[in-house]
């Protein structure tokens, strides 16, 4: 029991590492929480700093989710604990202790969790994201499409009850965090991939991160 709690804490702390904030500050001297959407994820880094910094952020956010799950598996934890640790990592990204509990939207970290625990499902989600992003140029829509497909893909390609529960929890969390993006998509004001960020206080259609 104590070991499981330690794993959950480690998962949360790993998820809390704000790679976007650190990389944007180091690469461009930018306070990421004050530009564009104010989000700490790779999409906002792309708009605020550039492609290289965004790629590093994406790798970091995916990697911390995958690492949390890998550590849990390395200890011999069962599926339920592994799923809980993965969920803790995503919650860490959403509510990071290192950044005043103001975090990102969880898509990249969720992808890392799935890649670490269910590689075939994670690879399929990545393909969905790439396809929708390439066709529509909407990062948020691509993320939502991939996450929406996750429970079905888990059921088809994995089937473990704990992972099905995890996929449902991740779907709810990601959709809740994207509620403003969903509103802008419906209104036709959502920004597309490649648009430059404005200061977060200015509002406007570029708030898409």
**Does the model's pTM come out above 0.85?**
yes
CA dihedral over 94, 200, 37, 44, signed as positive or negative: negative
Which own/partner contact pairs does 51-54 have at CB distance under 8 Å and 24+ positions apart?
52/27, 53/23, 53/24, 53/27, 53/28
Per residue in 129-185, pLDDT (tens digit) is: 999 999 999 989 999 999 999 999 999 999 999 999 999 999 999 999 999 999 999
Domain ranges of the chain: 2-199
Structure tokens of 207?
A: 């708030």
Q: Which residues are paired to 35 by β-bridges?
A: 199
**What torsion, rounded to 10 degrees, do the Cα atoms 127, 21, 16, 95 define?**
-90
């Amino acid at each position: 029991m104590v070991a499981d709690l330690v794993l959950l804490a480690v998962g949360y702390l790993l998820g809390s590492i704000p790679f976007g904030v650190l990389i944007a500050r180091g690469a461009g001297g930018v306070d990421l929480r004050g530009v564009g959407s104010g989000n700490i994820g790779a999409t906002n880094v792309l708009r605020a700093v550039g492609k290289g910094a965004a790629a590093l952020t994406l790798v970091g956010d995916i990697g911390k989710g995958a690492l949390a799950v890998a550590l849990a598996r390395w200890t011999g934890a069962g599926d339920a604990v592994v799923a809980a640790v993965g969920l803790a990592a995503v919650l860490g990204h959403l509510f990071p202790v290192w950044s005043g509990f103001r975090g990102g939207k969880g898509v990249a970290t969720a992808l890392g969790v799935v890649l670490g625990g269910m590689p075939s499902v994670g690879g399929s989600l990545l393909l969905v994201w790439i396809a929708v992003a390439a066709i529509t140029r909407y990062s948020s829509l691509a993320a939502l499409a991939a996450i929406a497909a996750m429970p079905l893909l888990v059921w088809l390609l994995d089937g473990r009850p704990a992972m099905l529960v995890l996929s449902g929890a991740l779907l709810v969390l990601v959709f809740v965090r994207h509620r403003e993006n969903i509103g802008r998509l419906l209104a036709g004001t959502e920004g597309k991939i490649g648009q430059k960020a404005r200061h977060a206080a200015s509002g406007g259609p570029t708030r898409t991160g």
